[in-house]
Amino acid sequence: MARSNTAIRQQLPEGRLQHAKEVYNHRQRAADIPRPVLQALIDAEAQDIEAEQEDGIQWLMDAYRANGKRPTAEQLALDEMGLSVTSIHSSSATLLSTLYDLIDHPDALGEMGEEIARVSMERSTWDRSALASLRLLASFMKESQRIHSAPEGADAHKFDFASVSDDSLNFGAGFHACPGLFLAQEAIKLIFVHMLTHYDFKYSEEGQQRPAGKPDNLPMLPNFAMPIMFTEIPSK
């Protein structure tokens, strides 16, 4: 096997080997992140201390334990990166869906801008507390997740984006609720804070509306191909 590996390395251009080394180094750095968390969980388990909270790493630990295994930090890092790849597209889809609906509802768009301006004046920085004050934006984001077009009487003021229930399964429910829901909510809010503060945006052609979604097996994803025109707001 050693001779085979040597022969393979000799056939690869030096640049390819360098890229492989970089990937290996990144994986090692990634493993250093969950390592202390993993060790703390192992220590707590040895002392029969119940986990303080249910999160992604605890989920992975439980899954490995159910199969009679104990994961290494390297395995957890790879699993977490896989979860990240899975979560990025869902957060992006939520953001784009909300953006389409904001463009289609200019009155709500104006209210969002006013809310962001008010909170910005009240708070010195966009920390979690400040983001939690963007209740109208959170409610509109939730309203935008409807599977079908909004029925008569739809209200962008009545929802909490981070709430989950048997009637709203976008982020799961109960034990299976997405552990990254609050992170996704705050990331999307921060993006909208930046967009609404620094840009005006609209469809590239007059009279356009939100394009029909695209079914992707079970999920219904927004159409990613609709051009949107962004114009930077001049600094005051």
pLDDT at 143: 83
Cα angle 73-185-130, degrees, rounded to a multiple of 5: 110
> Are 71 and 38 spatial neighbours (Cβ–Cβ below 8 Å)?
yes
- Cα dihedral 10/15/18/23 (nearest 10): -110
Token representation of residue 168: 């709203």
pLDDT given for residue 11 in this prediction: 60
Q: Which domains does the chain have, with CATH numbers?
A: 2-79 (no CATH), 87-232 (1.10.630.10)
Which residue in this structure is represented by tokens 């029909």? 212
211-230: b (≥16 Cβ within 10 Å) or e: eeeeeeeeeebbeeebeeee
Q: What is the pLDDT of residues 89-141, one digit of tens each?
A: 888 888 998 999 999 988 888 999 999 999 999 998 999 899 999 999 998 88
Q: Of 189, 188, 136, which is closest to residue 158 (Cα–Cα)?
A: 136
Cα-Cα end-to-end distance for the chain: 66
Instruction: Please tell me the number of Cα atoms within 13 Å of 76 on its side-chain side.
Output: 26
pLDDT tens digits, one per residue of 185-228: 899 999 999 999 999 999 998 889 888 887 665 566 888 889 99
CA separation (Å) from 136 to 8, 44, 108, 157?
58, 41, 9, 6
Q: At what angle do helices 135-143 and 106-122 cross, to 10 degrees?
A: 150
Q: Look at residue 57 in the predicted model and tell me its pLDDT.
A: 83
